[in-house]
């Protein structure tokens, strides 16, 4: 049997006999919900794209697994540790790393930076060499060179300079009275050979050879603060983490990429939630137009309501007519908004309509989850408004 309430609701919306005022108010309601829907989908898709892009950048420098000491900074029994890693069939490559704060001086300009010194196997573990946009990657035949982040390069005007070295200084460990600068710092001169671009986390980083950090810290040639690991394809990081924790013992801390990226992911998820709540509020405000439309239609159809009641339609069925009316308006606006947003997304992906920087367009990523979130949000709010306003029929 045909759903009489739904049939009448469709006739109310698409009928040409409606007054101009009703048509205008209905169009305003559709337009408001349409714009809010499109805006919500676009912003969620942009955030999805930004998250994917940042995770891709992170994967260029953050290892799949990182091994560091539980106590202190320097790895203990490093020869035994390396032998175990070489014998592990799950591990494709590993690299020894030292990370420490340094003071950098170049042509009278100074900054505090993070020095990440790596060995020649580092490019087998991460893809840091792929984000060097100017100059060359580190030359491991010499310990007097490094690559610098775009942020430090801009602040110090330190780009690629094979002639004038930068002075790197690191505080000496120990106690006692400092009588001269040489008692407080170790120094080394090194040349910038390249500039890399990543994200804010690496805006104050420079990468150098492992030997440079060992020289500054006065460590021997096998010492390292951590070992970063590349696993063989198809391996589960958490499974390998559990195996390494069992094999290496409690003296070492094992972290997967998810552990290392957890702070970034939490920030991105929080930003995503806040943006979603803001645009949900926008949709709620847009649905005030829907509420006004339903009320106007109820007032406009007062005589028809009395007639339908006289012909035997129950109050519930009549109320359902106006609930369906609001839902149909919401559905039309939502589908149109999603179509417009999808077209804008395709244009952004193919033509880069809006640029995040001079060379990088804002990323836009289509995901099924974003479609589901938008549909549930818009239809949920629109359905609730329609239900409660239909109760106004007496």
The pLDDT tens digits of the residues spanning 268-296 come to 889 899 999 999 999 999 999 999 999 98
pLDDT grade for 19, boundaries at 50, 70 and 90: low
**Buried b / exposed e across 44-75, counting CB within 10 Å, b at 16+?**
bbbbbbbbebbbebbebbbbbbbbbbeeebeb
Q: What average pLDDT does the segment 178-193 reach?
A: 80
- pLDDT at residue 268, as a whole number: 84
Average pLDDT rounded to a whole number, residues 342-369 = 90
Tell me the pLDDT band of 315, cut-offs 50, 70 and 90: confident
Q: Are strands 161-171 and 185-196 parallel, antiparallel or unpaired?
A: antiparallel
- The answer, yes or no, to whether residue 44 has pLDDT greater than 90, is yes
Please state the rounded mean pLDDT for residues 213-232: 94
User: Are 119 and 94 within 8 A, CB to CB?
Assistant: no
Band (177; pLDDT cuts 50, 70, 90): low
Contacts by 221-225, CB closer than 8 A, 24 or more apart: 222/78, 222/79, 223/74, 223/75, 223/78, 223/98, 224/74, 224/75, 224/78, 224/96, 224/97, 224/98, 225/68, 225/69, 225/73, 225/74, 225/75, 225/97, 225/98, 225/99, 225/100
Distance, CA of 349 to CA of 347 (rounded, Å): 6
User: Exposed (0-12), middle (13-18) or buried (19+): which is 87, by Cβ within 10 Å?
Assistant: exposed
The arithmetic mean of pLDDT across residues 312-319, rounded, is: 88
Residue 376 is predicted with a pLDDT of: 97
When mean pLDDT is compared across 24-28, 80-84, 148-152, 276-280, the lowest value belongs to: 24-28
394 is written with which tokens? 């007496």
pLDDT-based confidence at 176, cuts 50/70/90? Answer: low
**Of the ranges 59-63, 175-179, 228-232, 261-265, which is most confident?**
228-232
pLDDT score recorded for residue 291: 93
pLDDT > 90: what percent of the chain? 68
> Whole-number mean pLDDT of the chain?
90
Confidence of residue 1 (pLDDT cuts 50, 70, 90): very low
Q: What is the pLDDT of residue 53?
A: 81
- Comparison of pLDDT for 249 and 56, the residue scoring more: 249
- What's the Cα-to-Cα distance from 350 to each of 42, 50, 347, 362, rounded to whole Å? 15, 16, 5, 11
Residue 219 φ then ψ, to 5°: -105, 160
Label residue 77 left, alpha or beta by phi (over 0 means left) and psi (-120 to 50 means alpha): left
Binned at pLDDT 50, 70 and 90, residue 178 comes out as low
């Amino acid at each position: 049997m045909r759903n009489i309430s739904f049939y009448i609701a469709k006739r109310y919306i698409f009928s040409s006999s409606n007054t101009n005022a009703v048509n205008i108010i209905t169009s305003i309601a559709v337009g408001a919900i349409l714009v809010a829907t499109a805006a919500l989908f676009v912003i969620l898709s942009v955030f999805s794209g930004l998250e994917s892009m940042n995770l891709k950048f992170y994967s260029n420098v953050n290892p799949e697994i990182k091994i560091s000491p539980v106590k202190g900074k320097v790895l203990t029994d490093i020869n035994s540790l390396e032998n175990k890693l070489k014998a592990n069939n799950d591990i494709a490559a590993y690299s020894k790393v030292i990370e420490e704060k340094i003071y950098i001086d170049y042509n009278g300009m100074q900054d505090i930076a993070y020095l990440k010194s790596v060995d020649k196997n580092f490019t087998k573990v991460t893809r840091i060499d792929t984000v060097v946009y100017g100059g060359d990657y580190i030359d491991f035949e010499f310990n007097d060179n490094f690559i610098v982040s775009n942020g430090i390069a801009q602040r110090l005007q330190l780009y690629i300079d094979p002639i004038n070295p930068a002075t790197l200084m690191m505080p000496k460990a120990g106690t006692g009275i400092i009588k001269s600068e040489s008692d407080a710092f170790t120094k080394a001169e090194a040349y910038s050979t390249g500039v890399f671009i990543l994200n804010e986390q690496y805006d104050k980083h420079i990468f150098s050879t492992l030997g440079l950090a060992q020289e500054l810290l006065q460590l021997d040639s096998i010492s390292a603060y951590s070992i970063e690991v590349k696993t063989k394809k198809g391996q589960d990081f958490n499974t390998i983490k559990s195996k390494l924790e069992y094999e290496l013992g409690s003296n070492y801390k094992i972290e997967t990429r998810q552990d290392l990226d957890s702070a970034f992911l939490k920030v991105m998820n929080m930003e995503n939630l806040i943006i979603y709540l803001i645009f949900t509020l926008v949709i709620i405000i847009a649905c005030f137009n829907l509420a006004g439309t339903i009320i106007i239609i109820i007032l406009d159809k007062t005589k028809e309501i009395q007639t339908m009641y006289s012909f035997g339609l129950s109050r519930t069925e009549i109320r359902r007519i106006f609930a369906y009316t609001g839902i149909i308006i919401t559905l039309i606006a939502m589908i149109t908004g999603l179509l417009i947003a999808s077209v804008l997304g395709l244009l952004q992906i193919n033509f880069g309509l809006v640029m995040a920087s001079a060379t990088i367009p804002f990323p836009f990523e289509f995901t099924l989850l974003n479609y589901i979130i938008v549909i549930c949000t818009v239809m949920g709010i629109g359905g609730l408004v329609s239900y409660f306003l239909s109760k106004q029929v007496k």
